[in-house]
Chains A and B, each alone.
Chain A
Amino acid sequence: MILKFINSLGSCFLRICTEIGEFSLFFLKIIFVLFSKKLKTNQVVIYLQQIGVRSFGIVFLTGLSSGFALAFQSYIGLSKFGGEELVGVVVALGMSRELSPVLTGIMITGKAGSAMAAEIGTMKITEQIDALQTLCIDPYQYLIVPRIIAGTLALPLLSIISTLCGIIGGYLYCTTALNINSEAYLNIIQSKLDILDLTGGMIKAAFFGLILSTIGTYVGLHSGEGAQGVGLATTKSVVIGSIMILIANYFLSIFLF
């Protein structure tokens, strides 16, 4: 019984070590390809459109509804101390520093990260990646690196749009439901929101873009055989991507702000 437990513990540890090792090699290969081979800018543009432009709708809705909710919740807390006029700054800081990067990261993981894993996984099981290799086209240069670059570039832009939508959402809620003066809402944001709050949020989002696209492509490239393997890879990309974003958020928050 004890031996069996130790055995399974050992094999689990070995599996984790193998996975970390393989991921490290994958990441090193990306860095190598990025700096040694020509970047496929046309591919980057295609993926920027897929990840960025086509995600605008969900980012808009997420940002707007988060702004509403944040304004509502912060009003409840702040009104207890007579600080209703501070709702705007709470919304702006909350959105720019935390909610926009994290929510955008998680939403895009669900949308684009999973799509990357599914697409690359399907390409792997249908031998399309092997076909690229036989044509002397490096799959890392053609498929992986452009997706990672596009993910890293798209997320900060989506995050800033989400922040803007959140502030608009808060504004709409404050001026219509809470009867807060619109000028007061905007003035306090203008005076208290620093450019570093926005750039900090964008840096966070860039990291989240890097995380979700690296995990999406890695999991896709290492997916198992058949439809089940691709399905599992898709789920893994969302679960691991989301967890890694939340963990990274903690450390980035400490480091950046």
Chain B
Amino acid sequence: MINIINLKKKFDSKWISNGINLTIPKGKMTCIIGRSGEGKSVLLKQMIGLIKPTSGQILINGIDITTLKEFEKQQIFKKCGYVFQFAALLDSLTIFENVGITLLENGMAHEEIEHIVKEKLALVNLSADVLYKYPSELSGGMRKRVGLARTLVNNPEIIFYDEPTTGLDPITSRLVYELMLQTQQKLNVTSVIISHDIEIFNYVDYIAVLHNGIIEYFCEARNIWKSTNPFVKDFIHRF
């Protein structure tokens, strides 16, 4: 479970997060939705420790990660995975090296790594044909799937998705959502997804609406359409 308590973040003189309080249930898919520039990605990067909050707490399984030292953080984040908006694959490495990078760094045998990499690629519906290709040789959708496979190598308990369908066509977007759902169901991970696409409402369990630096609304996904909150109504009906 992830607990965010009164989280604030300021860049120069501008407050991006203005006291966020949010509880993300374990083993469920929670989507944080909001307009562009509301600080959704900043919130996600604070959860994974890439950005330090100005104040407040982020509790992952009861441990406040904002007060941890670098090596202590690593123990927590080993159980977390992050799927980047544009996959963020290392373009000088092959798909095999990208997916198996943590295993290669730990000195595991090549054959063993290849077996694991193939297994994770199969989980995201990619064949072994892509193994020795470079990221530039793959389509946007394939790169995102490789990004997810790279995350799955570490068997994470929590996966953070930063706008997973940005730049994809509707059909590929749907495939990515279905893949996320399958991953969730097979591995029973906690998923936190940042998005501004309301299509995702069909796949997640909970929705949190971010507005003006706070969580304006939090509900079960099936209830979002019944919301009487003026901002939420306006937001979902504009699509």
CB-based contact B88/A136 at 8 Å = no
Determine whether A179 belongs to the interface, using a CB cutoff of 8 Å to chain B: no
Residues of A within 8 A of B89 (CB): 128, 131
CB-based contact A128/B91 at 8 Å = yes
Residues of B within 8 A of A123 (CB): 90
> What 0/1 pattern do residues 119 to 159 of A give for CB contact below 8 A with B?
10001001110111111110000100000000000000000
A-B CB contacts (within 8 Å), total count: 44
Residues of A within 8 A of B82 (CB): 130-131, 134
CB-based contact A126/B150 at 8 Å = no
**Contact of B90 (CB < 8 Å), options: A128, A133, A136:** A128
Determine whether B84 belongs to the interface, using a CB cutoff of 8 Å to chain A: yes
Max chain B Cβ within 10 angstroms of own Cβ: one of A126, A127, A142: A127
Complex formed: what's the CA distance from A134 to B156 in Å?
A: 11
Complex formed: what's the CA distance from A7 to B91 in Å?
A: 44
Complex formed: what's the CA distance from A142 to B154 in Å?
A: 18
- Can you give 30 contacting A-B residue pairs, CB < 8 Å? A119-B92, A123-B90, A126-B86, A127-B84, A127-B85, A127-B86, A128-B88, A128-B90, A128-B91, A130-B45, A130-B50, A130-B82, A130-B84, A130-B88, A131-B84, A131-B89, A131-B90, A133-B49, A133-B50, A134-B77, A134-B81, A134-B82, A135-B101, A135-B150, A136-B74, A136-B77, A136-B102, A137-B101, A137-B105, A142-B105
| Chain A positions near chain B (C-beta within 8 angstroms) | 119, 123, 126-128, 130-137, 142
| Chain B positions near chain A (C-beta within 8 angstroms) | 45, 48-50, 74, 77-78, 80-82, 84-86, 88-92, 101-102, 105, 150, 154
